[in-house]
Amino acid sequence: MPSTKQTPRLKKPDPKTTTHHITVDDLVVEVLRKNIKNLNLSVRPPDGKVRVSVPRRISDATVRQVILERMQWIRSQQAWFASHAERATLHYISGEKHDYLGHTYQLQVLDGTRRPIVSLHGERLELHIPGGSSEALRAQALEAWYRAQIKLLIPPLIARWEPVMGVQVAEWGVKRMRTKWGTCSIRARRIWLNLELIKLPPEYLEYVVVHEMNHLLERLHTPRFKALLDQFMPGWRELRRGLEQAVKQNGRLRMG
């Protein structure tokens, strides 16, 4: 009996979508016009190409203005991707590149202290540590510093957004998570945040905080959930895309 299995159909490009390129300063931007409601800007790994999807009614002049307004963010994203393009496995030795709040620093390991001390000096991230310390101890010392820094940043963000959103966070914490940037326990009103966020530009940490707090208003990622984010943080989609692009370099993470 002949097989009834059908050959999968290839998805055809949307005939209503048009593509062209514009140049803003020295930046080449791919512009896609399609039947959408909002302008979407993205910087795409691994080479930092810039793409803007726009409704048909938006002119190139408007796109240029948006690019100029977001140029600093675009450049920082491109620099971040470039610095991670060929990042080797870390051994926590002098000369390695390590990230902190969206910037890349050169690690300098200095022996001679009784207890680990981490400090920033210009473009250097200095790790003072007892002589003969193992790779594991150096990694542990740097992680402890990262954890202390992110714990300084979270409380002001929660305090800022609680009155805006009309919610209260009873408890928060930081931990390593392999698959999520953050989670929220609605019953306990507790949010968890991924330690890796301390390595990204600070606006991403703020977005994840707001995203998880938003679950206290709407449990699931429903249209109402997104509408609330539109109300509180209109640029959240751009930040979400930035996180999605970042993890293409480092693994598979998603929002909780």
DSSP the chain: ----PPPPPPPPPPTT-EEEEEEETTEEEEEEEES-SS-EEEEETTTTEEEEEEETT--HHHHHHHHHHTHHHHHHHHHHHHHHTTPPPP---TT-EEEETTEEEEEEEEE--SS-EEEEETTEEEEEE-TT--HHHHHHHHHHHHHHHHHHHHHHHHHHHHHHHT----EEEEE--SSBSEEEETTTTEEEEEGGGGGS-HHHHHHHHHHHHHTTT-SSS-HHHHHHHHHH-TTHHHHHHHHHHHHHHH---B--
Kindly state whether residues 73 and 101 are assigned to the same domain: no
Strand-by-strand arrangement of the 18-24 sheet: 18-24, 27-34, 49-55, 40-44
Kindly state whether residues 106 and 67 are assigned to the same domain: no
The whole-number pLDDT of residue 173 equals 97
Final residue in a domain of this structure, among 33, 57, 84: 84
Kindly state whether residues 123 and 25 are assigned to the same domain: no
Share of the chain above pLDDT 90, in %: 68
Kindly state whether residues 123 and 222 are assigned to the same domain: yes
pLDDT in tens, 77-108: 788 777 665 555 789 999 999 999 999 999 99
Please state the domain count of the chain: 2
Kindly state whether residues 68 and 130 are assigned to the same domain: no
Kindly state whether residues 46 and 156 are assigned to the same domain: no
Kindly state whether residues 75 and 199 are assigned to the same domain: no
Determine, yes or no, domain membership for 199: yes
Q: Which residues face 108 on adjacent strands?
A: 126
The whole-number pLDDT of residue 76 equals 82
pTM for this model (two decimals): 0.68
Kindly state whether residues 108 and 178 are assigned to the same domain: yes
Kindly state whether residues 69 and 126 are assigned to the same domain: no
Domain membership of residue 43 as a residue range: 18-84
Q: Tell me: pLDDT of 163 over 90.
A: yes
Determine, yes or no, domain membership for 2: no
CATH number for position 222: 3.30.2010.10
Kindly state whether residues 41 and 64 are assigned to the same domain: yes
The whole-number pLDDT of residue 14 equals 56
The whole-number pLDDT of residue 87 equals 56
Q: Tell me: pLDDT of 8 over 90.
A: no
